[in-house]
Amino acid sequence: MKKRKLGHNGLEVSALGLGCMGMSFGYAPFPEKKDMIRLIHRAVDLGVTFFDTAEVYGPYSNEELVGEALAPIRDKVVIATKFGFAPANESETNGPRWSALNSRPEHIRQVVEGSLKRLRTDYIDLYYQHRVDLNVPIEEVAGAVKELIQEGKVKYFGLSEASANTIRKAHAVQPVTALQSEYSLWYREPEKEIIPTLEELGIGFVPFSPLGKGFLTGKITEDRKFDTVDIRNTTPRFAPEARKANRVIVELLEDIGRKKDASPAQIALAWLLAQKPWIAPIPGTTKLERLEENVGAASIELSAEELTKIEDAVSQITIQGARYPEAAEKMTNR
């Protein structure tokens, strides 16, 4: 697989990474751990070198899974994880136990040790602030990560779902190597301010949910039932009526895919890869056949004519439903 560089500091990753969250968090029911280790190893065989996890996924169990799977080949891969959430009493947060944010420098220094242990490594390649904590100046967060970089515990600093203004402030203290935020054919908000800012500052972009939490694969119909703890049950964009209305974008991908002998998912990923040479999406999956399908997207070239056709068609489509419940949406773009 071709490689891409994130930022100007030398971080090189496979054009497509692997988002590991769904292996143990968010998209229940979860497969056996041994099967996910096998899938991660297959990803490496296919040329994937970029693996994404977070402390809060599980919590903890996802980092443990990724650490166990990649320990034998640690020097050949790039591991990204995240800090910024913390346990809290439900009475204090009015929500899930991990809905509290905490990016205080002393907390960052504490939790990095746990992540290093679970990941079975002495350094983290890319350490993201998972969500911007309005109670802690971003300059202090960047300063704390800068110290970890100086100590060799972290190599590169990243942000997730941050606003353009926050990115600039953080970058002035410690160069930001990558921003991770949602970006796909059914969520294009980053094109307004985020992508121009990243291009100006020389920061890479790592889109999560590049397949719209599975919707752009074409496999999720309006009558699909999700597991009771699947996060899509509380996502407005996955309400049955929204799924029915949004089917039009899948039909567009299917139409283009038929002409290129590609799946809708492959066209969606190929479109993302065609936007900028410093974009590295991280589609997630728990199925070997889907992994191989996704990786195949890296070799699909969309012509200028095809990209224009997609742009013209998508510009006339209004996606129905918010991408997050209201409480989660408030934690983004700030």
Report, as residue numbers or ranges, the catalytic residues: 57
CA neighbor of 177 nearest in space, from 334, 332, 8: 8
Please report where in the chains the tokens 């919590």 appear, as a residue: 59
- Do 141 and 108 meet the contact criterion of CB atoms below 8 Å apart? yes
Structure tokens at 238: 């996955």
- The number of residues making up the chain comes to 334
CA distances from 227 to 33, 41, 45, 59, 234 (A): 19, 27, 31, 19, 11
**Spatial distance between the Cα atoms of 52 and 81, rounded to a whole number of angstroms:** 6
Residue by residue, what is the 3-state secondary structure of 62-93?
HHHHHHHHHHHHHHHCEEEEEECEECCCHHHH
Alpha-carbon torsion 316, 320, 324, 329, what sign?
A: positive
154 CB neighbour count, 10 Å cutoff: 26
Phi, psi dihedrals of residue 332, rounded to the nearest 5°:
-110, 160
